[in-house]
Amino acid sequence: MISAGKSQVTKLSKARSQSSMGFLRIDQRCCIRVCLSQKPVTTIGGGKILKKAKSLCPLLTCFSVCFAAAAAAEEQNAAERVTVFTAHVPPYVAPVGGTDLTSNAVEGLLVPSVTDLLQGLNLRYEMVMLPWSATYRRALATSNALIFPLDRTPERENRFHWIKTLHTSEYFIYGIRGVIDPEITIEDIAALGASVSCTKNSVQCELLSEAGLTPDTILALEGATIPDRYRLMIRNRNLFSVFDPAVFDFLTKKHGLDARKLVRLQKVGERNSYLAVNKSASDTLLDKLGKPTGD
């Protein structure tokens, strides 16, 4: 036998009288209001009790169903919330009014294409800008994560759903002007065994590998920005690196670096950059985004 005090009885009576209101929201208060109205109570000695222990069964069943419905509703809402990871790749993506590598306020040539799409689909999203390597790792590890601009490569093909083409990026090898022969080829660089720097987990490293450079000559630097790699070359730490000319020109000017100290050499390749979504994204999110490209 389970007893209830006077204040509890008052609450119980109010809950019963309000049971006709039905479900206004699927939440804990609603569950309590509706479930407590499910079984009558019997007065004994001025108090109220549940008549038999077995009366708890319908009550517990009601709570179970109600909380399950609440959990399902919350899961559906969560499925529609997305995190959009990006990186500092000006002029395509950059922090608003600054040069930081981390920011939740971004701008750039490619940003409107992404925000217009998500807002048009009524998706709730958070934009997060991190250094590139962290952006890529987080996008792989986070459910319902979007990432841009992400170059589409064979290695990445099955790791994402490819949603929208944003841009075509070209990549060139750069060398130190006055030291490197402007006519040098990728084959010559490979024969020299010289190191070529790139940012770890970037398409630059993949292109160097595809061009025939061996792993010991591909200097994959964790989180290295274009100014970082420029400075390493100027300090004679390595002779070559790979840049997107548009990004290189923008950043060297912005950081007051003399772009003329490097010379653009052979084109190493190009890639289409996309807005992509994590492969573990929910069906709800994928339905909203539409049929992913190439799936």
158 pLDDT above the threshold of 70: yes
For 3-37, the three-class secondary structure string (H helix, E strand, C coil) is: EECHHHHHHHHHHHHCHHHCCCCCCHHHHHHHHCC
What are 53-86's pLDDT values in tens digits? 444 444 444 445 444 544 444 444 444 689 999 9
110 pLDDT above the threshold of 90: yes
pLDDT of 105 reads 84
- Fold agreement between 79-165+275-289 and 169-272: yes
User: Looking at the DSSP assignment, which residues form a beta bridge with residue 47?
Assistant: 44
Report the CATH number of the 169-272 domain.
3.40.190.10
Local confidence band at 276 (pLDDT 50, 70, 90 cut-offs): very high
Q: Spell out the domain ranges in the chain.
A: 3-78, 79-165+275-289, 169-272
In CATH terms, the superfamily for domain 79-165+275-289 is Periplasmic binding protein-like II (3.40.190.10)
CA 282/CA 96 separation, integer angstroms: 31
Q: Which residue, 176, 240, 250, 160, is CA-closest to 208?
A: 240
What are 187-229's pLDDT values in tens digits? 999 999 999 999 998 899 999 999 999 999 999 999 889 999 9
What are 19-43's pLDDT values in tens digits? 333 333 334 443 444 444 444 444 4
Mean pLDDT of the residues in the chain: 78
2 pLDDT above the threshold of 50: no
What is 255-279 written as a DSSP string? TT--GGGEEEEEEEEEEEEEEEEET
User: Looking at the DSSP assignment, which residues form a beta bridge with residue 28?
Assistant: none
CA 142/CA 246 separation, integer angstroms: 30
CA 139/CA 33 separation, integer angstroms: 41
Local confidence band at 291 (pLDDT 50, 70, 90 cut-offs): low
| Mean pLDDT computed over 282-287 | 91
Residue 122: helix, strand or coil by DSSP? coil
